[in-house]
Amino acid sequence: MDFVGIGKIVIITLLFMIIDIVTGYIGAWVSGTVSSAVMRNGLAHKFTFVAFVCMAALIDYAQGEGIINLGGVVQLTTMTCIYIIITEINSITENAVIMFPELTNTPLVKMFRNSTSLMEQATKENEEVHGKHVDRKPELHERQDGEGYAHHTSRDGRIPEGNGQHVS
């Protein structure tokens, strides 16, 4: 197992994440939209990315040590990092346009926006085959039952367990 190679891609991924955090903050500062709630949300997303990289690295390690067998060598860390890097490139490009609006239609911005088009197309095809993207929440509606409780229900009218709030 080549942890030196894995280490390099992880460091590159972390650097892209740091650049995104910095450009995102500067873009919010420039546009006057700095928000601690948005920053917390963004940091939670970054932590989630780090958790996925850690999971992938552990699975890669277990494969290399022969602890698990996925039926072939699958470089999950590299694939996970590439996905994150493409996501970060898109975000950094959006932040750059906020900081420097004159870049909007330049070849430089178009080049980086085009680098994400393959990933967007793959995501769209995956949604068509497997349904909606995992980060979309189901649409919920509120209704009251006969005992004065308000419930959030899904489109089909089911009430998830433990979802009632008493309404006076």
Is the residue at 164 inside a domain?
A: no
Domain that holds residue 7: 3-115
Predicted pLDDT at 129: 52
Q: Domain for residue 131, yes or no?
A: no
- The span from the CA of 80 to the CA of 78, in Å, is 5
Tokens of 87: 């996501």
Q: Is residue 137 part of a domain?
A: no
Residue with tokens 């990092």: 81
Please report, as a single letter, which amino acid is at residue 58. Answer: L
Are residues 55 and 48 in contact, defined by beta-carbon separation less than 8 angstroms?
no
Only one residue has tokens 């963004």, namely 42
Count the domains in the chain: 1
| Mean pLDDT over the full length of the chain | 77
pLDDT at residue 107, as a whole number = 87
pLDDT tens for each residue of 110-166: 888 766 565 556 556 545 554 443 343 444 444 555 555 454 444 445 554 544 444
- Domain-embedded: residue 58: yes
Angle of CA points 59, 133, 108, to nearest 5°: 90
Is there a contact between 56 and 79 (Cβ–Cβ < 8 Å)?
yes
